[in-house]
Amino acid sequence: MIPIRDHNPSQRMAYVTWALIAANIALHLLVTMQADSDRALWALYRDFALIPAKVSAGQGYGGFVTSVFLHADLLHLAGNMLFLYIFGDNLEDELGHVGFLGFYLFCGVGAGAAQWLAAPMSPVATIGASGAIAGVMGGYLLMFPKAKVDIFVFLIFFIRIFPIPAWIMLGLWFGLQLVNGLNGDATAGGVAYWAHAGGFIIGFLAMLPVFLLRGGTAFWDRNQGRPAHPDAAWGRLSPSAIPAIRRGGPDQPVPRRGPWP
């Protein structure tokens, strides 16, 4: 279940969202060019990733920020930037450009802290933007629970694109992070689940003052939990034109903070 867009157009240019996407892509390309061997890559992780054991020893505090801008590979980067592209512009609308940047970094640092608390002696480097992006998703859930999000679903012989309320998509995503965090170790499968869950909760709570200033539940009541403006220019989705395909038819991983493992 992959979100591809929402029906919640931003009311002004999301300069910070686009700048963050550009910065993450540029830094990944720079890292790819500079770290031309495994030794060079791990040296970079040692200096700039978040390593819980290093923090517990009183070192590497900068990793709480710098790790947010590192990604393991193109799939990790693409998944994170897709989620930021879909959900970031609307919170930037609500918080303003400077406010959104501060919110994003705050959620990223908080997500790293959650991962550190979950495994304070882990020597495994943690990288990725999705702790911060999880915070954006948590804030989005609070502000626009019934905004429509277009979902791409691919289950072997079943392919569909259809809209669902944001609360379903975001609630399922958060539930999976929480369940995986509770059932596995803090870096199970190379994924930092507690950074995801922690970032989401921090983002939700950090948006509460804005939500209350908008009127709290009265803000939801005015628009039934949807955006106050019309849907995006493409309008509401009609049933997907993509057909269902029937049977018979044609070393220790670096834990990534990313919606896509």
Residues 6+ apart with CB under 8 A from 233: 9
| Nearest by Cα to 191 from 132, 240, 258, 106 | 258
Q: What angle do CA 71, 205, 255 make, to 5 degrees?
A: 20
Give me 4's structure tokens.
């591809």
| Nearest by Cα to 140 from 118, 113, 170 | 170
CA distance 85 to 108: 16
Domain 2-223, architecture per CATH: Up-down Bundle (1.20)
What string of pLDDT tens digits covers the 261 residues of the chain?
789 999 888 888 999 999 999 999 999 999 988 887 888 888 888 899 999 999 999 999 999 999 999 998 999 999 999 999 999 999 999 999 999 999 999 999 999 999 999 999 999 999 999 999 999 999 999 999 999 999 988 877 778 888 999 999 999 999 999 998 888 765 666 788 999 999 999 999 999 999 999 998 888 888 777 777 666 655 444 444 444 444 444 455 555 555 543
| Nearest by Cα to 260 from 182, 152, 144 | 152
Residues 6+ apart with CB under 8 A from 228: 222
| β-pair type (2-6, 148-155) | antiparallel
CA distance 175 to 181: 10
Q: List the domain boundaries for the chain.
A: 2-223
